[in-house]
A and B are shown apart, each in its own frame.
Chain A
Amino acid sequence: MRSWLLKAEARIGVGAVLAAAALLPPLAGLLEGQLVTHLLCQYPLLVGGGAMIGATLALTRLANWTAPSALLAGTLACVFWLVPRWIDAALADQAVNAAKAVCLVILAGLPLGWGWAQAGPVLRGFVWANATAMLAVMGWLQLATPIRLCNSYLLSEQRDLGLALLTLAILALIAGMSRAMLGQWGRPIQ
């Protein structure tokens, strides 16, 4: 019991450190300097940090019924900060940037980690499949849009993001397929 507690504390600590690292001046500036690193390094650090905390908290209490709403809340909070208007706003205004960080850790990361830990295999598969499809659609949109969506970034950076998202979609697809076919995919033993 004692060792489990330490482990949980350590995980919460690591989550907080990840999120804080993405916000501290040297790294934050570097990550926000490029569209790809802003969305695919800083965002995942913030959301992932929150998710580690959320998943650890979920060990303390079994509440399966909260899984779908928590996963939906986390997803919507992520999508909100992917709207080009708010990406630009976060770069233009420190207060908005602070709101973004708090939102991605607490409203996106925490519920995603909590919800994933509470979710059963059907819900997890549903979320994974949808995330894969959305990554592909977002990547394709970035590549197909001839105009700049963010005033703060170049068109070439938008293309880089599109390619990176498509790569992620393929990786997510491979991971999902592997899990479905190589894991315990057979009929449960009664």
Chain B
Amino acid sequence: MRAALATVVVAGLGAAAFWWGTEGGMALTSEAARRLDIAAAPRMLPDVPLYDQTSAKLQLSDYRGAPVVLEFIYATCPDVCLTLGTAFERLDAVLPPGVPLLSLSFDPADGLQRLGWFANRHGAEAPHWRVAGVKDPKARAALLERAGVVVIPDGVGGFVHNAGLYLIDGKGRLSRVFDPEDTKGVLDALLVIEG
């Protein structure tokens, strides 16, 4: 009897621990946890200096005042960034002119030329759609850290990262993260913001 009682108590404690550790079963992966956390409490992103494909210099904070759709890419990426680029092409066609797109490279090797490649491949035209890099390594690391972007080497010269489409609200806060192909989610969320 006490064996059964003790087992039931342990099972209850275990269930409570799992409930706590997975946000009630909603966050089994760190990616799901990150998205839930950002949606619940939008994060202020650090104001980093950027340079875009036209060599224009700007600050991330220059975008404040209107929502922005952001993605993290690297110019020589063979797979997921192509999905991201294509998603931005679709968004570029339907977004209202007041909502800019920003493709941010996390690869320190992405100079002007490489940003240009990416911009040309996807038809990105500044200032509406900027393809930009962050020169300062510390600022770049701080931005990735705050956004919860984890970049690891893929073992064959490239990178693997938790890709997504990011919605930044008019106050400069990262407020939502969507799957790389979920342009509909981005549009619906923008309607809510603008609505």
Nearest CB on B from A69, distance (A): 4
B155 at the interface (CB under 8 A from A): yes
Interface centre among B17, B30, B150 (most CB of A within 10 A): B30
State the 9 A-B residue pairs at the shortest beta-carbon distance, nearest first. Answer: A76-B14, A69-B6, A88-B30, A151-B150, A65-B3, A69-B7, A69-B10, A84-B29, A68-B7
Complex Cα–Cα for A66 and B14 (A): 16
Contact of B28 among A72, A76, A84, A152 (CB under 8 A): A84
Q: Size class of B's contact patch?
A: 20 to 34
Residues of chain A within 8 A (CB-CB) of B10 are 69, 72-73, 76
Complex Cα–Cα for A66 and B11 (A): 14
Complex Cα–Cα for A84 and B31 (A): 9
Complex Cα–Cα for A152 and B151 (A): 8
Residues of chain A within 8 A (CB-CB) of B33 are 85
B27 at the interface (CB under 8 A from A): yes
Residues of chain B within 8 A (CB-CB) of A67 are 3
Contact of B3 among A68, A89, A153, A156 (CB under 8 A): A68
Contact of A83 among B4, B7, B11, B28 (CB under 8 A): B28
Nearest opposing residue in chain A for B1, CB measure = A65
**11 extra interchain contacts, Cβ-Cβ under 8 A, other than A65-B2, A68-B3?**
A65-B3, A72-B14, A80-B17, A80-B21, A85-B22, A85-B27, A85-B32, A92-B150, A148-B160, A151-B162, A155-B160
Complex Cα–Cα for A67 and B13 (A): 17
Nearest CB on B from A27, distance (A): 21
List residues of B whose CB falls within 8 A of some A CB. 2-4, 6-7, 9-11, 13-14, 17-18, 21-22, 27-33, 150, 152, 154-155, 160, 162
User: Is there an interface contact between A65 and B6, defined as CB atoms closer than 8 Å?
Assistant: yes
User: Is there an interface contact between B18 and A80, defined as CB atoms closer than 8 Å?
Assistant: yes
A149 at the interface (CB under 8 A from B): yes
Nearest opposing residue in chain B for A154, CB measure = B160
Contact of A66 among B6, B17, B152, B160 (CB under 8 A): B6
User: Is there an interface contact between B18 and A154, defined as CB atoms closer than 8 Å?
Assistant: no
Nearest opposing residue in chain B for A153, CB measure = B152
Interface centre among A68, A72, A156 (most CB of B within 10 A): A72
Complex Cα–Cα for A68 and B14 (A): 14
Contact indicator per residue, chain A 150-164, by CB within 8 Å of chain B (1) or not (0): 111111100000000
Contact of A151 among B9, B14, B22, B31 (CB under 8 A): B31
Residues of chain A within 8 A (CB-CB) of B17 are 76, 80
Contact of A72 among B7, B21, B32 (CB under 8 A): B7
